[in-house]
Homo-oligomer: A and B are copies of this chain.
Amino acid sequence: MSGRRDEVLTAALALVDERGLDALTMRALAERLGVTPMAVYRHVANKEALLDALVDRLIGTPTPPDPSAPWRDRLRALAAAGRAIAHAHPNAAPLLLRRPTRTSRAVAFVDAIYQALLASGLPVEAVPRIERLTSTFVLGYAVSEVGGRFAAGPDPRATRGDGQPGHRRLAAALAAPVDWDGEFRADVDDLISLVELLVARTSDDDSVAVGD
C-alpha cells in the first residue's frame, strides 16, 4: 500500500488507455515508470494482480448516489455510472467482465444497487437475482458497445442477413442509425418497469410463498 503503488496503477491505466490492453506488459509499464521490469514486482504481485487492481480502480471512480433519492433515479444513476466507466476507459473495459472483484469498492457499488432495489419494494429474496440481472446487462451492454460487438458496420450491413427472414422483415429498422445513449436509457427504463411488475405481482398475491 505504499504511495508508489498508486503511481504504478496510474501508469498502467494510462498505458492501456493510450495503447490498448495488449500493450500493458510488465516491461512496458516498467519503462514508463523509468525503472527495471523487476522493480514493478515490488508493488504488484504479478500481472494478474495488476489487472485486478486496475479493475478495482475503475470501479472506485464513481460516487454512489444519494440514498435519499427516489430508487428509480438511483438505479438510473448507477447504470449510467457503470456505463460511464467503460466509456472513459474503453480499452480497459473488457476487464470489468473478467473477474469476481470482491474488493470493498466493488461491494459498495453492488450495495448501492441492493439499496435501490430494496427501496422499490422488491421481495428480499428476489433482490440478489435482480441485482445480477441488472449489473450483468449494464456491464455487458457497455463492454459490447465499446468493444464493437454491437457496431454494425455501414456497408456490410445492408447485405448482412439477406437470406434471413427476420432480418428481411426488419430491413427498415436495421438500416436506421442507432442512438446508443437513447437505447441504453430505454433498456434501463425497461428493467425498472420489470422491477415494478415484480413488485406489483408480490402485493397482488397476499399469500406469498417463500423459501423451501
| 0 or 1 for each of A136-153: is its CB under 8 Å from B? (1 = yes) | 110111011001111101
Q: CB-CB < 8 A to A150: which residues of B?
A: 132
A97 at the interface (CB under 8 A from B): yes
Once the chains are docked, how many angstroms separate the CA of A39 from the CA of B45? 37
A13 to chain B, nearest CB (A): 20
Q: CB-CB < 8 A to A149: which residues of B?
A: 97-101
State how many copies of this chain the complex holds: 2
Q: Which bracket fits the contact residues of A?
A: 35 or more
A82 at the interface (CB under 8 A from B): no
Residue of B nearest to A139 (CB): B140
Q: CB-CB < 8 A to A98: which residues of B?
A: 94, 147, 149
Once the chains are docked, how many angstroms separate the CA of A150 from the CA of B98? 11
A138 to chain B, nearest CB (A): 9
A183 at the interface (CB under 8 A from B): yes
What are 29 A-B contacts with C-beta separation under 8 Å?
A97-B140, A97-B143, A97-B147, A99-B147, A100-B148, A100-B151, A102-B156, A102-B160, A107-B161, A107-B164, A110-B161, A111-B166, A113-B166, A114-B164, A114-B167, A115-B165, A124-B169, A124-B172, A128-B170, A128-B173, A128-B174, A128-B178, A133-B137, A136-B144, A137-B137, A137-B140, A139-B140, A190-B198, A193-B197
The 6 closest A-B pairs by CB, nearest first: A114-B166, A140-B140, A111-B164, A111-B166, A136-B140, A115-B166
